[in-house]
Amino acid sequence: MATNTVNQVLTGFDATLMIDNEVIGRSSEFTVTVNQTLEAIYEQGTRRPVEIKEKKFEVTGTLKRMYIDQTLLQKVLGGTTYQDSIPYFDIQGYFKNPSDGSVKTITIQSAKIGKWDITSALEANTEEKTEFMALNVVIA
């Protein structure tokens, strides 16, 4: 009998940030949004579309509580600092199915950081939130 993947409950854990397959950091919480713009094509005098065309494809998301090892980042970038250039990096996120223990992987390919917020308040935890845009996403 086939497994119903639509009703599976997945719990997220750990996201790894990599440049050239070398781990440069981790994030404990992330979101990914894939937006595929579609356009309905109608023939004159019809109410239903005769075709749906794919337009712009965009992958965006956020990382929270991100930890980057500056030593590894400088090693991968050849000694430059993060402020000098914004490198492409990959994000690998892992989701676990608690019922059978299987793990699914989502890979965000060729991402760049667009916005970086750090929030700190008196007697509260410091929270870091980063927004990114990527070229592709693969779910396996």
Q: Is the pTM of this model over 0.75?
A: no
pLDDT, tens digit (0-9, with 9 covering 90-100), for 44-92: 998 999 999 999 989 998 888 666 766 666 665 555 555 556 778 898 8
User: In the CATH hierarchy, which top-level class contains the domain 11-139?
Assistant: mainly beta
- In our burial notation (b when 16+ CB lie closer than 10 A, e otherwise), range 30-62 reads bebeeeeeeeeeeeeeeeeeeeeeeeeeebbbb
Task: Report domain extents, the chain.
Answer: 11-139
Structure tokens at 23: 């781990």
Task: Indicate the SS3 state at residue 111.
Answer: strand
Angle at CA 65, nearest 5°, toward 59 and 67?
95
